[in-house]
Amino acid sequence: MDYHQDRFKDHSLLLYKKDKLVALFPANQHENVLYSHQGLTYGGLIIHKDLKLRDVKECLQLILEHLKENNLQKLHVKLLPSMYSPFPYDELNYLFFILEAKLVRRDALSVVNMQHRPKMSKDRIAGNKRAIKHGLVIKEVHTFDAFWNQILIPNLAQKHAAKPVHSLAEIQQLKAAFPKDIRQFNVYKDDVIVAGTTIFETEYVAHSQYISGNEDKNTLGSLDFLHVYLLNEIFQDKMYFDFGISNENQGKNINEGLHYWKEGFGARTMTQDFYEIDVQNSHKLETIFI
């Protein structure tokens, strides 16, 4: 996370059991609130696979006591979507219920279960056929300049008056740190880039961090072509393909067209929840076990 350390006041925590690191809580502080790190797409308490419910409860208690000692009043946690864990991971959901945590946001992710894929829609199949007819070509590349400068930045500026979360220098720095886990796939027509996607890959999940095409993407079918290829040829052995959210307005609205496009590949909805916890409620965790 060092690449954007200037944007956040880091307050990440390491938790130990008998001198063994067993949990991480990536976090940043703003005023009197500790947040699951706002510079990370996904967050929450990252636990060792051997930890059981009582251990997780004690980790959460330690975090809340730490906040009290540092005069912090609230804890904001964004939970890790369950598909990113190879084992059941709902301990925090239960503990937040005990703490009377307040659900402050819920995002809707579009996710393809790669082992039980619904059929693709006629629209996505038709788009793929248009791309083939237009002679489009897909290439995996190891640089991001063309996609960032010719496709992604202009599109975000024009449609949303926004910039990519990662600058070109930052995504290049991340690629250098994680060369096998961050991958760039571009689509070309007559050797000119027309679309692309940036994939963050884990052992079980492939996540599209950025998806963008030029103004002819619908006519060419470039993004349909690209994702049919990724789903069928590159990531077919993953457990899940995560298209990410189509949410706006802190989760309260969904870009219907974008969500519909993702569902056309067989994606269905999984949620990511955001909770606010009053640190003064930490004592409620002591009453669980009888």
Place of tokens 């050797």: 191
pLDDT in tens, 14-39: 999 999 999 999 999 999 999 999 98
CA distance 275 to 171: 29
User: pTM of this prediction?
Assistant: 0.92
pLDDT in tens, 72-113: 999 999 999 989 988 888 999 999 999 999 999 999 999 999
CA distance 84 to 66: 27
CA distance 243 to 205: 10
pLDDT at 98: 97
CA distance 195 to 227: 11
CA distance 272 to 81: 6
Contact at 8 Å (CB) between 108 and 269? yes
Q: In terms of C-beta density within 10 A (0-12 exposed, 13-18 middle, 19 or more buried), how is residue 202 classed?
A: middle
Neighbours of 175 (CB within 10 A): 18
Listed in sequence order, the residues at least 6 apart from 19 whose beta carbon sits closer than 8 Å to its beta carbon are none
CA distance 151 to 174: 20
Per-residue pLDDT averaged across 173-185, rounded? 96
Going along the chain from its start, the domains and CATH numbers come out as 2-106+273-287 (3.40.630.30), 116-238 (3.40.630.30)
pLDDT at 139: 98
Listed in sequence order, the residues at least 6 apart from 2 whose beta carbon sits closer than 8 Å to its beta carbon are none
Positive or negative, the CA dihedral 8, 11, 15, 19 is positive
